[in-house]
Structure 1
Amino acid sequence: MRFLSGRAVTLTHTFLDDEDALTPDDVTVTVTRDGASTPTAEGPATRDGTVYTFSAGLLPQGVYTVRFSSSAVTDTLRIEVVGGFLFGIPEVRKPALELPATRYPAAEVRQARDVVEREFERITGRSFTPRTLYVEASDLGGCTDLLPVRDVRSVVALGTPDGPVSLTLDRVGPFAYVPELPHGTAGVEIEYGFTEVPEDIRRVGLVRLRWVLTEDRSAIPDRATSYQPVDGGTYTLATAGRAGYHTGIPDVDAVLDDYTFDVVDSVFL
């Protein structure tokens, strides 16, 4: 689940035992940022029926572990605070998309947007919004190892005797690495991603979102690779995972390919 930085984060949770909802008493919540030793926010949750709510306030950009716990049960969640989204919900409500709030509530749209963002990141290996990642120093290997993300903007070493230290970056094509880690570094915090969503990515993101929300209403079976209309002829469908298509939507895949580095370029740059 992703939240926007600069906005108060309100967390909701339901304890489930398979499909049965549990209602434990005295549930407390801790929100701990990756790389931190103490919680960023903590306190009691409020309950309304089977739903527990906790206001974590403003959280800095990054990834967090959230624990809803009582003496009887504990659930652990992962959330992320990001610097932006591919598009806002008001853009989804434009008449051309035909996604009115009466049929597609905001919670459903947010979930589908999260699916699209993660899919685009998996396909291209890049984030189109500002994000922050914490990596343990031991996971970096040697100092000249490439950082695990692209479009890196800054790296800060944490846990050094001098406190947080901004590191110098060296770049090799789309990749980056830090030539040296200060003594005592426990881990590094990496800011990466596009500072502003490219307009073509925003446009095809909305196209993909509409498909994600409406695919169960399609008249074409989801496993079909071709179809034959009643007036004759046979049409071959662009199918995700076949013939170089990622999503199965040619316009979307063409744009994503423009932002994806070829294997040859990745090896030899």
Structure 2
Amino acid sequence: MGRHLTGRAVNLSHAFLDDETPLTPEAVTVTVTREGATTATTTGPALKSGDVYTYSAGALPEGRYAVRWDGGVTAVDLAAVEVVGGHLFTLPELRGTDEDLTPQRFPTVETKLAREVVEAEFQRITGRSFTPRTAYLAASELPAPGELLPFRDVRSVTVLGTSPGPVAVERIGPYAYMPELPDDATGVEVAYGFTNVPTGIHRVAMIYARWLLVAERSAIPDRATSYQPADGGTYTLSTPGRGGAETGIPDVDAVLDGYRLKMVEAVRIG
């Protein structure tokens, strides 16, 4: 799922493939629909350049969107994009940490993908987002009133249905409880995440992204748990999945651990 920043035009591109064979329909219609909506947010014809199709969806509010690339009888593909309120770091900030991270060696597409991986991994490891995001929960997915919402650092909850609008939520620290909703509610949009990236997270996010980019060029094999340099000695490597390590980078794992849900917190909140 590609991530785009709020306040900028969301420019989409797509290539139709049958395994490795490009497909090139003459006309392609693009439909972008916000998650939970029943009508399209925007739709129109895609521009064709070779076997790549592009479409500008304009500036979209924070949230998740389904994208339908309709090439008629030739091919129809579905994709998803997300518009977020911020990133863990900018690409110039990342490149500034290492003189070797030049656009020539690591193109924009590659560095953006590394950033998306870092953002997804940090949320998986800690259970919270360090940037503003908005998620949709259908009525069937909602917890019972008074139960915890499945997101930490909830900023707001907006009910969808016949009478959409914001609802009040009760907060205790980074947690929020599910409020009472109108009977005609079809779901809710939950805005959650840190408004500003914590300094420590900002720093280690770039460390992890840099490691992801250069790992394939390392002289140490991917499966190594230790190595012996030419001048002697043996070094044990921090390895993801072993000894509580998540990323395998001690400095990164130490900072992330401070943002994880601890058992004592769970007992206190319960």
| Fold shared per TM-score above 0.5 | yes
**Aligned partners of 1:181, 1:97: CA distance in 2, in Å?**
53
Cα deviation, residue 173, structure 1:
4.5
What's the TM-score, normalizing by structure 1?
0.96
Corresponding residue for 2:86?
Answer: 84
* 1:146-203 residue CA offsets vs partner (Å, 9 max, x unmatched): 211110011011113xx22211112345321223111200110111000001111111
Structure 2 counterpart of 1:59, one-letter code: L
Structure 1 residue corresponding to 2:133, chosen from 131, 137, 140? 131
Corresponding residue for 2:46?
Answer: 45
Cα deviation, residue 95, structure 1:
5.5
Question: Does the CA contact (< 8 Å) of 1:128 and 1:194 recur in 2?
Answer: yes
Structure 1 counterpart of 2:160, one-letter code: L
Q: How does 1:1-269 map to 2 (within 5 A)?
A: 1-72=2-73, 73-94=75-96, 96=98, 98-160=100-162, 163-269=163-269
**Aligned partners of 1:262, 1:95: CA distance in 2, in Å?**
32
**Aligned partners of 1:173, 1:198: CA distance in 2, in Å?**
16
Q: 1:244 to 1:186 in 2, by over 3 A?
A: same
Q: 1:59 to 1:12 in 2, by over 3 A?
A: same
Kindly, what percent of the aligned residue pairs are identical?
58
**Aligned partners of 1:79, 1:154: CA distance in 2, in Å?**
21
**Aligned partners of 1:97, 1:108: CA distance in 2, in Å?**
16
Question: Does the CA contact (< 8 Å) of 2:46 and 2:54 recur in 1?
Answer: yes
Q: Tell me the SS of whatever aligns to 1:47.
A: strand
Cα deviation, residue 266, structure 1:
2.0
Cα deviation, residue 96, structure 1:
3.3
| CA RMSD, Structure 1 to Structure 2 (Å) | 1.3
**Aligned partners of 2:148, 2:139: CA distance in 1, in Å?**
13
Give unpaired runs (5+ residues) of structure 1.
Answer: none
Question: Does the CA contact (< 8 Å) of 2:154 and 2:193 recur in 1?
Answer: yes
Cα deviation, residue 230, structure 1:
2.5
Give unpaired runs (5+ residues) of structure 2.
Answer: none
**Aligned partners of 2:264, 2:55: CA distance in 1, in Å?**
48
**Aligned partners of 1:207, 1:141: CA distance in 2, in Å?**
37
Question: Does the CA contact (< 8 Å) of 1:9 and 1:56 recur in 2?
Answer: yes
**Aligned partners of 2:19, 2:51: CA distance in 1, in Å?**
14
Structure 2 counterpart of 1:21, one-letter code: P
**Aligned partners of 1:142, 1:113: CA distance in 2, in Å?**
35
**Aligned partners of 1:49, 1:248: CA distance in 2, in Å?**
42
Structure 2 counterpart of 1:149, one-letter code: F
Question: Does the CA contact (< 8 Å) of 1:167 and 1:178 recur in 2?
Answer: no
Structure 1 residues 38-47 or 139-148, which shifts more?
139-148
Cα deviation, residue 38, structure 1:
0.7
**Aligned partners of 1:17, 1:102: CA distance in 2, in Å?**
30
**Aligned partners of 1:97, 1:146: CA distance in 2, in Å?**
45
Instruction: Count residues with an aligned counterpart.
Output: 267
Question: Does the CA contact (< 8 Å) of 2:31 and 2:67 recur in 1?
Answer: yes
Cα deviation, residue 92, structure 1:
1.7
